[in-house]
Amino acid sequence: METVYDVIVVGAGHAGCEAAHAAARMGCRTLLLTIDLDKLAHMSCNPSIGGPAKGHIVREIDALGGLMGRITDETFIQIRLLNDSKGPAVQALRAQCDKRLYAQRMKEALERTPNLDLKQALVERIAYDRDAADGAVARFAVVTHTGWRFRGRALVLTTGTFLRGRAITGEARWSAGRAGEAAAIALGEDLHQLGFPLVRLKTGTPPRIDARTIDFSQTELQPGSERPLHFGFYYDEPPRVPTFLHDRPNPVFPAPYLDGWRPQLPCYLVYSTPETHRIIRNNLHRAPLFSGVIEGIGPRYCPSIEDKIVRFADKERHGFFLEPEGWLTGEVYLQGCNTSLPEDVQWQMVRSIPALRHAEIMRVGYAIEYDAVATGEILATLETKRLPGLFLAGQINGTTGYEEAAAQGLIAGINAALKVQGRPAFILRRDEAYIGVLIDDLVTKEIREPYRMFTSRAEHRLLLRSDNADLRLTPRGYELGLIDATRMAIVERKREQTAQTRRYLQGLRLTPSAETNARLAQAGIGPISQVCSAEIVLARPDVRYEALRAALDLPELAPYVGEQVEIETKYSGYIEKELKAAERVRKMEQRRLPETLDVMAIPGLRHEARQVLQRFRPATLGQAARLAGINPADIAVLLVYLERQHLDQQNMPCEPSSA
């Protein structure tokens, strides 16, 4: 009854699950509170994980010891490698999951986690002892709708779209965190009372279709991968797959499961028609997005279909993907057709597509507005500046997407645990991880619309590939206590074998003899015309390690080691260049700004720069340089001022002794 938790996590979406799991694994007595335990890790929008940059984030979460990648691998109904014709920096996995099975497996994983309690409650108020010492017992208390209080030393808020949430379909509007679930009205008002500036954002979902009413003969089949792909780093141990998948095929989809390494369900592609566009244009006056009903700002890169019709008026058609929502259901997600149009318009719009001429809508699309905390309120640890010990993660920070939320949850849970334990904070740099890029953007950029991660946001993306996420981050996860010694040893062995093999290839000299070229030709490799190392041959774009091994009797490597050797060899020059660029930036990151820095007292600093620095209070010179409104001249002025302050402190006369 009087339990005091080390860490309390409010909200059990993707951010909350990762936060609670991380804090508990690090030895903290942790409590996870959610409105409905049956909706834990619920995929309220598309039940898919990954995509460009997002897939990279999921691999990084797994490399640090998080859950999302492995739960996805256990429950996906289809997986594909996107951009496989491009370089490894932009190749990314995307999986379509079984919505209910994902949530079930996540709940099972959390229930098996030591030090973690799960409870169902609607949190309405946060009580905070401002006078308590940092790390004090029971600095926080959260008060539920029944009046019960849970006390804790650190608090992580992962409220998703529930803060004063409002769902909208046409003229219909109702309070909701998502369809069928109550919004957190009181908690949103309480955060406002605590002084947090809130902004209004918006997201949306499409109609869901009954698969039995779809004419699949008028769709384009989108099969899954024919070779094994996974988000998790398993090395020689494959992930478990639910056994019932082999015994209970879904009867409503005409295409059989793909043969081969694992059962998969295909997705299907359809297109909008001129009739679709005409129906939408004729009803724009009834669209909440344009009529003024919707106040929140939606994601630019995932617009509703009515927004697409207006913004891209020259396009003759838009693609929609019909994506099954699970193994044992006939509910189909109409990807690419997010909408808040009135229900009667949605029916007309859906049935204007040939394959959906007789479609039955099982759930209509809707938009949802919600509160998020404005930019400038969090540190790189995701701790709030206003209330020490309070951490924010997920859509409350202005992001969109399960992957971005899970990454923030993981970092918030880690740092909440570290704060309670009195250990140094955990911060990832932009050259260390996409997660570092994500959080740095949230700290240094003005978020005016829901933020979504892209590979283009990472200036060092060649260093942040999916294949090397374990080499980059697993040692950090091991230091935190999230990775066991066995897995750590495998990663270090991968690193050592990669380096050893590359050194061996560099030292192996090949001469252009008839015998050598014949052996290369037999392996499908072009001839050499001069003396060179085996590394030079492997650096060719079309040469694979396995082919070269067969030609030259090279050491046999595990597939994950061979892949690493190939990539590092082919891109070694570019990687070296990126490492040098990252080192230059790192020097600015290491120059910390004093917490007591009075920007108003810095001579020669522009008024706009003063305002920006005063609002964001960057921790390092590097963060300051990335703030919108700060130019190179401002950084130069700031650097000169810091150097003068440093010299003045060094030259201060010694105080006379009391003697």
Rg of the chain on CA atoms, in Å: 27
4-201+370-480 CATH: 3.50.50.60
The predicted structure's pLDDT at residue 640: 84
Residue 502: pLDDT band (50, 70, 90) is very high
CB 535 within 8 Å of CB 509: no
pLDDT tens, position by position, 345-368: 999 999 999 999 999 999 999 999
CA–CA separation, 272 and 481 (whole Å) = 50
- Reading the block at residue 648, the tokens are 């003045």
Do strands 116-120 and 76-82 pair parallel, antiparallel, or not at all (unpaired)?
unpaired
pLDDT tens, position by position, 175-214: 999 888 889 999 999 999 999 999 999 999 999 999 999 9
Tell me the C-alpha to C-alpha distance, in Å, between residue 382 and each of 24, 155, 416, 618.
Answer: 18, 11, 9, 13
CA–CA separation, 52 and 59 (whole Å) = 12
The whole-chain average pLDDT of the chain stands at 91
CA–CA separation, 605 and 642 (whole Å) = 13
Q: Quick one: CATH architecture of 592-650?
A: Orthogonal Bundle (1.10)
Alpha helices in 283-362 (DSSP H): 288-291, 305-311, 343-351
Residue 628: pLDDT band (50, 70, 90) is confident
- Could you tell me which CATH class the domain 208-369 is placed in? mainly beta
pLDDT tens, position by position, 47-68: 999 999 999 999 999 999 999 9
The predicted structure's pLDDT at residue 659: 35
Those residues with Cβ within 8 angstroms of residue 33's Cβ, 6 or more apart along the chain or in another chain: 8, 9, 10, 11, 12, 119, 120, 121, 123, 142, 144, 150
Whether the per-residue pLDDT at 650 is higher than 70: the answer is no
Whether the per-residue pLDDT at 150 is higher than 80: the answer is yes
Identity (one letter) of the amino acid at 346? Q
Tell me the three state secondary structure of residue 126. Answer: strand
- The values of phi and psi at residue 378, to 5°, are -120, 155
Query: Of 541, 568, 537, 540, nearest to 554 (Cα)?
Result: 537
Query: Domain limits of the chain?
Result: 4-201+370-480, 208-369, 501-577, 592-650
CB 90 within 8 Å of CB 52: yes
Residue 32: pLDDT band (50, 70, 90) is very high
Q: Centre a 10 Å sphere on the Cβ of residue 357 and count the other Cβ atoms it contains.
A: 13
Whether the per-residue pLDDT at 229 is higher than 60: the answer is yes
CA–CA separation, 166 and 174 (whole Å) = 6
CA–CA separation, 366 and 180 (whole Å) = 12
501-577 CATH: 1.10.10.1800
The predicted structure's pLDDT at residue 142: 95
The predicted structure's pLDDT at residue 550: 93
Give the residue, 618 or 657, on which the prediction is more confident: 618
Whether the per-residue pLDDT at 646 is higher than 80: the answer is no
The predicted structure's pLDDT at residue 249: 65
Give the residue, 45 or 240, on which the prediction is more confident: 45
The predicted structure's pLDDT at residue 652: 59
Residue 43: pLDDT band (50, 70, 90) is very high
Whether the per-residue pLDDT at 488 is higher than 50: the answer is yes
Whether the per-residue pLDDT at 241 is higher than 90: the answer is no
CA–CA separation, 489 and 497 (whole Å) = 12
Measured in residues, the chain has a length of 659
Cα angle value 222/66/585 (rounded, 5°): 95
